[in-house]
């Protein structure tokens, strides 16, 4: 099994980080959209705490992922017009930004509303902010807005990856995904 990234493909750790993050973030979108539309109840509070716990996991996973990325840099993008490189790299940077900032906004927003975040119901996170509903509204408003912006960029990101695989038939999706080979020109 290839551990480090090579000039032509991502290694197993980078692939695992990517696809585990996809699973967790899909879950976070599902839980986030569902829980905010529930009537106030114990169940609602329970779903909030699951969302918060998974969100903190994504934050920690992303710190580990960025550490690994420093140790083993990603393969360079294959030759393409500079606009495409700029678009791909900007999307990746923006997604990393969201994976770090979204959890912090969610944590600080809950904190300002006076709801402590307890990771897996076991580890209480620090509560640095005083109770302030206006600030809480601002932070969670930013959390919702950033979630929608992230969703939009993710659609473009995933669409571009599928375009590379099914239309251009190059190695972009294959080098990030176990078990996938570039599609041949003819069947």
Choice between 76 and 186, CB closer to ligand HEM: 76
As a whole number of angstroms, the distance between CA 142 and CA 151 comes to 14
As a whole number of angstroms, the distance between CA 107 and CA 102 comes to 9
Task: Name the minimum Å distance from CB 122 to ligand HEM.
Answer: 14
Q: What angle do CA 50, 177, 103 make, to 5 degrees?
A: 25
Task: Name the minimum Å distance from CB 186 to ligand HEM.
Answer: 23
- Residues lying near ligand HEM in the complex (CB under 6 A) are found at 18, 21-22, 25, 28-29, 32-33, 36, 48, 51-52, 55-56, 58, 69, 74, 77, 92, 95-96, 99, 102-103, 106-107, 109-110, 117, 140, 143-144, 147, 154, 157-158, 161-162, 172-173, 175-176
Task: Name the minimum Å distance from CB 113 to ligand HEM.
Answer: 8
DSSP letter, residue 126: P
Choice between 7 and 130, CB closer to ligand HEM: 7
Sequence-ordered list of residues with C-beta below 8 angstroms from that of 72, at least 6 positions apart, any chain: 3, 4, 5, 11, 13, 14
Q: What angle do CA 143, 32, 118 make, to 5 degrees?
A: 80
Choice between 87 and 186, CB closer to ligand HEM: 87
Task: Name the minimum Å distance from CB 83 to ligand HEM.
Answer: 15
Would you tell me how many other CB atoms lie within 10 Å of the CB of residue 37?
Answer: 8
Choice between 23 and 186, CB closer to ligand HEM: 23
């Amino acid at each position: 099994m290839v551990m480090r990234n090579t000039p032509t493909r991502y290694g197993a750790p980078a692939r695992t980080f990517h696809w585990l993050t996809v699973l967790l973030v899909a879950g976070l979108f599902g839980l986030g959209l569902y829980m905010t539309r529930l009537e106030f109840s114990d169940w609602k509070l329970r779903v909030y705490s699951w969302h918060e716990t998974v969100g903190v996991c994504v934050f920690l996973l992303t710190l580990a992922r960025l550490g690994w990325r420093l140790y083993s840099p990603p393969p360079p993008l294959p030759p393409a017009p500079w606009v495409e490189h700029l678009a791909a790299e900007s999307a990746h940077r923006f997604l990393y930004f969201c994976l770090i900032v979204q959890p912090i906004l969610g944590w600080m927003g809950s904190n300002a509303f006076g709801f402590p975040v307890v990771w897996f119901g076991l580890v209480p996170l620090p509560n640095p902010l005083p109770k302030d509903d206006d600030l809480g509204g601002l932070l969670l408003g930013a959390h919702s807005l950033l979630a929608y912006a992230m969703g939009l960029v993710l659609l473009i990101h995933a669409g571009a990856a599928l375009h590379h695989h099914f239309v251009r038939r190059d190695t972009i999706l294959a080098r990030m995904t176990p078990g996938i080979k570039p599609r041949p020109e003819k069947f």
